[in-house]
Structure 1
């Protein structure tokens, strides 16, 4: 079963429809939900640049 957001639908409304599609109450659905900021997640996983050693 696939549930897709409708144009101009709020996140809360979409979550309710997802829960209904899988016969989950909103409490059960949100218990496993983890909000992630994609910008922060992407920046945290970027490899760090190696520093060049100075020649003496």
Structure 2
């Protein structure tokens, strides 16, 4: 059974969108995939800081 997904709409300032789109292209990911990876990494960093 696939994991549930929550759909959202987001707005980006042009410079942030360009940065994210460039990262996505370099990492062979979609914009959404890159955003998920960035958020996952940030979550891991914050969780480690909370337990330290």
TM-score, length basis structure 1: 0.39
TM-score, length basis structure 2: 0.42
More helix by share: 2
